[in-house]
C-alpha cells in the first residue's frame, strides 16, 4: 500500500496549495458571505452551496501532512493561511450581519453553536476521506466540500455572534469550529502516517523542530479530549432524559420534541409529550429524578398534549402500529406535514403526523404571537375535517398581557392565552402586574383584576397575585409600556371537583379551557 504512493509528488502538490494566496482569500470571502446569507435565510441549500467554493481543505490538509512529516516550515505556512482565512471569514460575515436587515437567530445558526457527537463524526469521516483523496489524487474537490461543511458554517456563526453582541453564540460556534478543526487535522495526519509519510521525507528537520511539533500535537489533543468528554456526557444525558420521560408517562405516550440546553449552571430541558392523560406532577417528578441521576440542577419546561382524549390510548397504539408499515398513507402524511409547515412556519421534518390516529402536531419555536398561532391552527383545522391539529406554542414563559384601547383586541388576546394554556394541558394561571413609577398599588392591582376578568371569561381559573414593586431599572431598559403589561404564569391544572358537572359549572363559571 505504501509503495504504491508517490510521496514526493503528493507532498509537492500539498505544499503548493497550502500557503496563503490572493485566490485563497477571495474564495474564503465569497464562501463565508454565501454561508452567512444562507444561515440568515435559514436555507440549508444555500449553506451547502457556499461549501462548493470554500478552499479550506488545502491549508488543513497541508497542516496534517506537515505534522505527519514533522516539517516545521510547512506547519507555519499552513497555520498562517488558516488563521488568516479564519479571521477574514469571521470579520466579513460580521460586516454582512451588521449591514443586513435580517438579524434574527435562525435554526441554521443555532445548530452551529455547540459541538455534538454527530458534528464531530462528520468532521472525522470527512478528514479521513480528505487524506485518502489527497494521497490518491482523486476526488479532492468533492471531499473538500465535506470538510468545508464542518468548518465554514461555524465560522459564519461566530461572525453573527460578534455582530449581534451575543458572546454565547460566538463562543459556542468557535468551540465547534475548533473541535472540528483539531479532529480534521489529526485525522489527516493519521491517514498520512498510515501511507508512509514520515520525518524521513523532511530532510531539513532539526531536533528542536521535532520537539516543537510533538508539543503541538499535545496542545491540539488536549482540547479535543476535553471536548470529547463533554460530548460523551451530553449524549449520555440526552438518553437518560428521554428514558426518564418515557418512564414517567408510560408506553401510551410519545415524545414529540426534546431539546436539552446544556449551557449555564442549570440544565434546561424543553420537552413536548403526546399523551392520553395529563400527569399533574410530571414536571416536579422529572426535575427531582433527573437532578439526582445527572448530578446537576435540572429545570423542566414540559408541554403535555392530549391525543384524542376519549380514546387516546387506542389511537396511540394504532398510530404506533401504523408507523411500522413504511408504506401506509405516506402521501397523506407528506401532504399534511407540508400544509402544517406552511401555516406554522415549522420545518416539514419537525412536524409530527400520525395518519392512522389522524393527529398532526408541530412545536413552534419562533416568536410569533399566540393570536397568530391560534388563528393559524383554527384555519388548518377547518380545512382538515376529521383531523386533530395541534400547534404547540413556544416553550418557556407565556408572553405578558398588554392591555389595549380595544376591548375586542383584549378579548382576542385572552382567548389566545386560554388556548396556549390548554395546549400545555392546564386551565389555571397566576396573573400579576408591576407598579410603575408614580403609580399606586391599587392601580396596578386594577390592571391585574381586569386581565383576570378577561381570562375567566375564557374559562381560565385565575389566581391574582399582589402587585410587584417598582423597578426603575427595568423601566429604563425595557420601556414603560413593556413593564405595564401584566405577567401570566401557567399553573398546574386545578383538581377536579367532586360535585356534579352542572352544579360545578354554574357555581364557579370556570369550566376547563375550550379546545380551539
* DSSP codes joined into one string, 424-479: TT--EEEEE-BPPTT--HHHHHHHHHHHHHHHHTTT-EEEEPPPBPP-HHHHHHH-
Query: Is residue 14, in this structure, part of any structural domain at all?
Result: yes
C-alpha dist (Å) from residue 375 to 4, 344, 380: 67, 10, 9
- Same domain for 384 and 415, yes or no, is no
Q: What is the pTM of this model?
A: 0.50
- Residue written as cell 453573527? 160
Q: Are residues 103 and 139 in the same domain?
A: yes
Note whether residue 245 is domain-resident: no
Helix (H, G, I), strand (E, B) or coil at 48: helix
What are 305's strand-pairing partners?
Answer: 274
Domain end marker among 189, 205, 221: 205
110 within some domain = yes
By residue count, the chain amounts to 516
What is the predicted pLDDT for the residue at 26?
92
The grid coordinates of residue 276 equal 392520553
Whether residues 377 and 463 fall in one domain: no
Contact 71, 202 (CB under 8 A): yes
Tell me, what CATH number does 353's domain have? 3.30.300
**CB proximity list for 348: less than 8 A, separation 6 or greater:** 337, 338, 341
Kindly give the confidence (pLDDT) of every residue in the chain, 516 residues in length, as a single tens digit, with 9 standing for 90 and above: 555 667 777 778 777 777 888 888 998 899 889 989 988 887 877 887 777 777 777 888 888 888 888 777 888 888 899 899 999 999 999 999 998 887 777 778 877 777 667 777 777 887 788 777 777 766 555 556 666 667 888 889 999 989 988 887 888 888 888 888 888 888 888 888 787 776 555 555 555 555 655 666 666 667 667 767 777 777 788 888 888 888 888 777 777 777 787 766 778 888 888 777 777 778 888 888 888 888 888 888 777 776 554 444 554 555 555 444 444 456 667 777 777 776 677 777 778 887 777 788 888 876 678 888 888 888 778 777 778 888 888 877 888 888 887 888 888 889 999 988 888 888 899 999 988 888 888 888 888 999 999 999 999 999 998 888 888 888 777 777 778 888 898 888 877 654 444 433 333 333 333 333
Helices (H), 271-369: 282-294, 312-323, 330-344
User: Does the residue 83 lie in any domain?
Assistant: yes
Is 236 among the domain residues? Answer: no
Tell me: do 25 and 87 sit in the same domain. Answer: yes
Q: Are residues 402 and 390 in the same domain?
A: no
Residues 378 and 503 both lie in one domain? no
Tell me, yes or no, whether 334 and 469 share the same domain. Answer: no
Place of cell 461572525: 159
Q: State which of 157, 181, 205 marks the end of a domain.
A: 205
Contacts of 294 (CB under 8 A, 6+ apart): 237, 240, 267
Domain co-membership, 76 together with 159: yes
Judge whether 140 and 55 are in contact, CB under 8 Å.
no
Burial code (b: 16+ CB inside 10 Å, e: under 16) for 240-251 equals: ebeebbeebbee
pLDDT of residue 312: 46
The residue among 396, 412, 433 that closes a domain is 396
| Contact call for residues 464 and 449 (beta carbons, < 8 A) | yes
Tell me which residue range forms the domain holding 80.
7-205
Q: Are residues 24 and 164 in the same domain?
A: yes
**Do residues 135 and 54 share a domain?**
yes
Neighbours of 53 (CB within 10 A): 17
Amino acid at each position: 500500500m505504501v509503495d504504491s504512493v508517490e510521496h514526493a509528488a503528493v507532498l509537492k502538490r500539498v505544499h503548493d496549495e497550502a500557503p496563503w494566496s490572493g485566490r485563497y482569500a477571495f474564495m474564503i470571502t465569497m464562501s463565508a458571505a454565501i454561508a452567512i446569507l444562507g444561515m440568515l435565510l435559514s436555507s440549508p441549500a444555500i449553506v451547502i452551496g457556499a461549501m462548493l467554493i470554500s478552499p479550506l481543505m488545502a491549508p488543513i490538509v497541508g497542516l496534517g501532512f506537515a505534522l505527519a512529516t514533522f516539517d516545521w516550515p510547512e506547519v507555519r505556512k499552513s497555520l498562517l493561511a488558516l488563521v488568516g482565512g479564519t479571521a477574514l471569514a469571521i470579520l466579513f460575515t460580521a460586516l454582512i450581519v451588521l449591514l443586513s436587515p435580517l438579524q434574527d437567530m435562525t435554526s441554521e445558526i443555532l445548530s452551529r453553536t455547540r459541538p455534538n457527537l454527530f458534528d464531530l463524526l462528520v468532521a472525522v469521516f470527512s478528514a479521513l476521506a480528505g487524506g485518502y483523496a489527497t494521497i490518491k489524487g482523486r476526488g479532492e474537490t468533492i471531499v473538500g466540500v465535506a470538510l468545508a461543511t464542518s468548518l465554514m458554517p461555524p465560522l459564519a456563526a461566530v461572525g453573527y455572534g460578534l455582530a449581534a453582541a451575543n458572546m454565547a453564540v460566538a463562543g459556542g460556534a468557535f468551540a465547534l469550529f475548533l473541535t472540528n478543526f483539531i479532529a480534521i487535522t489529526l485525522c489527516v495526519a493519521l491517514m498520512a502516517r498510515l501511507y508512509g509519510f514520515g520525518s524521513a521525507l523532511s530532510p531539513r528537520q532539526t531536533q528542536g523542530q521535532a520537539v516543537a511539533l510533538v508539543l503541538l500535537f499535545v496542545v491540539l489533543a488536549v482540547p479535543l479530549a476535553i471536548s470529547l468528554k463533554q460530548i460523551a456526557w451530553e449524549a449520555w444525558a440526552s438518553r437518560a432524559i428521554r428514558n426518564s420521560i418515557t418512564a414517567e408517562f408510560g408506553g401510551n405516550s410519545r415524545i414529540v420534541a426534546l431539546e436539552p440546553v446544556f449551557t449555564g449552571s442549570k440544565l434546561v430541558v424543553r420537552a413536548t409529550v403526546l399523551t392520553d392523560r395529563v400527569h399533574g406532577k410530571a414536571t416536579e417528578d422529572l426535575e427531582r429524578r433527573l437532578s439526582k441521576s445527572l448530578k446537576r440542577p435540572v429545570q423542566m419546561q414540559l408541554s403535555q398534549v392530549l391525543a384524542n382524549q376519549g380514546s387516546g390510548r387506542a389511537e396511540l397504539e394504532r398510530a404506533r402500529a401504523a408507523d411500522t408499515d413504511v408504506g401506509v398513507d405516506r402521501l397523506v402524511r407528506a401532504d399534511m406535514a407540508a400544509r402544517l409547515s406552511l401555516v406554522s412556519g415549522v420545518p416539514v421534518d419537525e412536524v409530527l403526523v400520525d395518519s392512522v390516529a389522524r393527529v398532526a402536531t408541530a412545536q413552534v419555536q419562533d416568536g410569533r404571537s399566540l393570536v397568530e398561532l391560534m388563528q393559524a391552527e383554527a384555519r388548518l383545522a377547518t380545512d382538515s375535517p376529521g383531523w386533530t391539529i395541534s400547534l404547540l406554542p413556544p416553550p418557556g414563559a407565556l408572553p405578558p398581557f398588554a392591555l389595549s384601547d380595544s376591548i375586542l383586541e383584549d378579548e382576542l388576546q385572552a382567548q389566545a392565552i386560554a388556548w396556549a394554556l390548554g395546549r400545555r394541558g392546564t386551565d389555571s394561571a397566576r396573573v400579576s402586574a408591576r407598579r410603575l413609577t408614580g403609580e399606586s398599588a391599587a392601580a396596578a392591582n386594577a390592571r391585574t383584576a381586569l386581565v383576570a376578568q378577561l381570562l375567566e371569561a375564557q374559562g381560565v381559573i385565575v389566581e391574582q397575585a399582589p402587585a410587584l414593586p417598582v423597578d426603575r431599572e427595568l423601566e429604563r431598559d425595557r420601556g414603560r409600556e413593556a413593564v405595564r403589561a401584566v405577567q401570566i404564569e401557567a399553573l398546574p391544572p386545578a383538581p377536579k371537583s367532586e360535585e356534579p358537572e352542572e352544579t360545578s359549572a354554574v357555581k364557579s363559571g370556570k369550566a376547563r379551557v375550550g379546545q380551539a
